[in-house]
């Protein structure tokens, strides 16, 4: 900060005293013969002199006071001007589908399930009526290690009636003849395969069995291993032939 500026008015002390003395002496004393000015007038002159001294001294005091510090002017911070927001497609309400709506069950394989185009499935795999009638159970050859092989042999027979019943005798499981009811398999029930099988309920060993076609043109006999959740894994048992 630089040196303070010179006061606008500088009061000389000697001139001040002279001014006051002249102001006081302007009025005669009480004992003077030059006039008879009342004491009130004399006091008024003294007060006037003091007032003039104060008025003349104020500019000198203010001239030497500390200047007020003001904040330096600064450039205002630049802000990004308002821009138009990017337009997005408003959300649209999807078509409502009742999750509790009951679908009609036909019991037959639907060839138009997602992922299976009509015409790509062999009709042989869906023709469950061709499974009606008598079938012989053939157990194929089983390797026993090295040159030893257990030759294939007949193991019994199964008869599937169009009225919803069956008769099954499987000598490898039991000598008893089992009779029961059958149903059509659910879509992809047989290990996820696209086939229409006939499920023989409560067959030998207390398991469900299935007579199912395979893509190679053969008919096979399967048995189910049930899990706790009710699903099943189907295992190959033997081939059926006529």
- The pLDDT of residue 156: 94
- pLDDT over 70 (residue 165): yes
Long-range interactions of 8-15: CB distance < 8 A, separation 24+: 8/59, 8/60, 8/63, 9/56, 9/59, 9/60, 9/63, 10/60, 11/56, 11/57, 11/60
State whether 156 and 54 are in the same domain: no
State whether 132 and 222 are in the same domain: yes
- The pLDDT of residue 194: 94
Question: Does residue 110 sit within a domain?
Answer: no
* Number of structural domains found in the chain: 2
Question: Does residue 187 sit within a domain?
Answer: yes
Calpha distance 212→203 (Å, rounded): 15
Calpha distance 55→48 (Å, rounded): 11
- 19-45 pLDDT, tens digit per residue, is 556 655 555 554 444 444 456 556 666
Share of the chain above pLDDT 90, in %: 39
Q: Which two tokens stand for residue 207?
A: 């398991």
* Of 61-65, 119-123, 223-227, 237-241, the least confident: 61-65
Average pLDDT over residues 56-80: 56
State whether 43 and 140 are in the same domain: no
């Amino acid at each position: 900060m630089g040196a303070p500026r010179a006061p606008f008015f500088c009061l000389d002390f000697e001139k001040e005293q002279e001014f006051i003395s002249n102001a006081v002496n302007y009025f005669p004393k009480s004992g003077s013969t030059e006039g008879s000015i009342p004491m009130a007038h004399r006091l008024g002159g003294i007060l006037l002199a003091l007032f003039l001294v104060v008025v003349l001294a104020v500019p000198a005091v203010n001239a030497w006071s500390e200047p007020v510090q003001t904040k330096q002017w600064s450039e205002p911070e630049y802000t990004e001007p308002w821009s138009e927001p990017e337009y997005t497609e408003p959300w649209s309400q999807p078509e409502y589908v009742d999750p509790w709506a009951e679908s009609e069950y036909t019991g037959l394989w639907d060839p138009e399930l997602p992922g299976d185009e009509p015409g790509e499935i062999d009709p042989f795999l869906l023709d469950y009526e061709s499974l009606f009638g008598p079938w012989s159970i053939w157990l194929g050859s089983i390797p026993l290690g090295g040159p030893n092989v257990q030759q294939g042999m007949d193991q019994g027979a199964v008869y599937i009636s169009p009225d919803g019943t069956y008769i099954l005798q499987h000598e490898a499981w039991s000598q008893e003849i089992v009779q029961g009811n059958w149903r059509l398999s659910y879509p992809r029930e047989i290990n996820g395969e696209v086939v229409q099988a006939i499920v023989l309920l409560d067959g030998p060993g207390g398991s469900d069995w299935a007579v199912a076609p395979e893509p190679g043109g053969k008919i096979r006999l399967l048995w189910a291993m049930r899990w706790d959740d009710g699903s099943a894994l189907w295992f190959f048992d033997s081939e059926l032939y006529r």
